[in-house]
């Protein structure tokens, strides 16, 4: 193959109680990445659609290009790529937009190069590309974007990624309000130290969420979707957040919190019907305070990136 088009999924990171260690992939929304293999070394970003004005075309600043170049350097390849990026999700949304670009580009490039690495082995290159986007090499977006499903980052040094099963009827409602939150700023407002009381409560929720997903216990999963450390700070950046959260829970959602650093808000639900109902209620809250928003309803994406054209 000389060219390939990849669907790369959006992701929800942190998942309430799991700051920088939890993330899961969505079927909707997601980006499309088109790669063409070249005999000449180097990366060219030939086309960007969607939020073009916000996405750098310079290869050294673009997460898709940076991650693929890191792969080429690692395997000592003299090949190159022309990359088109078709953004199907908003940037700076808390849905892992930069991670989707990197994951999709890496996944496609690895295939065109003859699969020199397993998909999981591509993660370090995707993590490094995240430093270009937000200054921090975290994996809670790129890991689920590459591997699909619900992912735990147990350790960064050494890198230890665990994919765990999710509940069979689990749906996610995501609402993206038309406001902007800078990821670096959203990290800078967090405390560097926490109380023992908060740590104990958060650890209990982390253990409860993992157990709930493994055992198929919807009630335990919902009770564990509580963030006492990060959410109180970032909620201040999203007008109407607690009213939106209340609307989701009153509609039957298992739990609701901020996706990544925001401003998107996610709610996990036990059925598609409940997810639709929660999305409508959440949107009504933003409508009342004159903030436009877009709702996405999705099952959990278990496969990660996929080929849509070759």
pTM: predicted TM-score of the whole model, two decimal places? 0.94
303 part of the active site: no
At 59 the pLDDT is: 81
pLDDT in tens, 73-83: 999 999 999 99
When pLDDT is cut at 50, 70 and 90, the band that residue 255 belongs to is very high
Summarize the confidence of residues 1-17 as an average pLDDT: 95
Q: Is 241 helix (H, G, I), strand (E, B) or coil?
A: helix
Q: Is 130 a catalytic residue?
A: yes
Reply yes or no: is the peptide bond before residue 102 cis, omega within 30 of 0. Answer: no
Percent of the chain with pLDDT strictly greater than 70: 97
Residue 169 CB neighbours (<10 A) = 13
Report yes or no: 183 and 282 within 8 Å, Cβ to Cβ. no
Instruction: Work out whether strand 80-86 and strand 42-49 pair parallel, antiparallel, or are unpaired.
Output: parallel
Q: Which of 11, 63, 166, 183 is catalytic?
A: 183
Across 102-110, average pLDDT: 97
- If one compares 295 and 92, the residue with the highest pLDDT of the two is 295
The pLDDT score that the predictor gives to residue 175 is: 98
**pLDDT at position 89:** 87
What residues does 23 pair with on adjacent strands? 13, 151
Q: Rounded CA gap, 102 and 36, in Å?
A: 15
Determine the average pLDDT of the residues in 138-163. Answer: 94
Find, among 263, 293, 245, 229, the residue nearest to 94 by Cα: 263
For residue 53, what pLDDT is reported? 54
């Amino acid at each position: 193959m000389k060219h390939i088009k990849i669907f790369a999924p959006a992701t929800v990171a942190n998942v309430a109680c799991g700051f920088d260690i939890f993330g899961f992939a969505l079927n909707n929304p997601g980006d499309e990445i088109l790669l063409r293999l070249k005999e000449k070394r180097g990366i060219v970003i030939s086309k960007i659609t969607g939020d073009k004005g916000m996405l750098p075309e310079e290869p050294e600043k673009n997460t898709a290009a940076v991650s693929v170049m890191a792969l080429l350097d690692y395997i000592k390849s003299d090949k190159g790529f022309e990359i088109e990026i078709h953004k199907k999700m908003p940037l700076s949304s808390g849905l892992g937009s930069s991670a989707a670009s990197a994951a999709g580009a890496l996944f496609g490039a690895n295939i065109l190069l003859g699969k020199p690495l397993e998909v999981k082995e591509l993660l370090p290159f995707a993590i490094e590309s995240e430093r270009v986007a937000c200054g921090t090499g975290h994996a809670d977006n790129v890991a689920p974007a590459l591997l699909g499903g619900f992912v735990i980052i147990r350790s960064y040094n050494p890198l230890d990624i665990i994919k765990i099963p999710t509940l069979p009827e689990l749906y996610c409602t995501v609402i993206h309000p038309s406001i902007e939150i800078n990821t670096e700023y959203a990290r800078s407002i967090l405390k560097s130290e926490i109380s023992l009381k908060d740590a104990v409560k958060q650890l209990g929720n982390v253990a409860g969420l993992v157990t709930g997903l493994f055992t198929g216990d919807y009630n335990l999963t919902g009770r564990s979707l509580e963030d006492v450390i990060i959410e109180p700070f970032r909620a201040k950046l999203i007008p109407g957040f607690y009213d939106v959260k209340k609307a989701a829970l009153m509609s039957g959602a298992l739990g609701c919190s901020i996706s990544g650093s925001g401003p998107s808000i996610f709610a996990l639900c036990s059925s598609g019907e409940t997810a639709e109902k929660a999305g409508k209620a959440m949107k009504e809250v933003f409508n009342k305070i004159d903030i436009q928003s877009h709702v996405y309803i999705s099952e959990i994406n278990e496969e990660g990136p996929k080929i849509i054209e070759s």
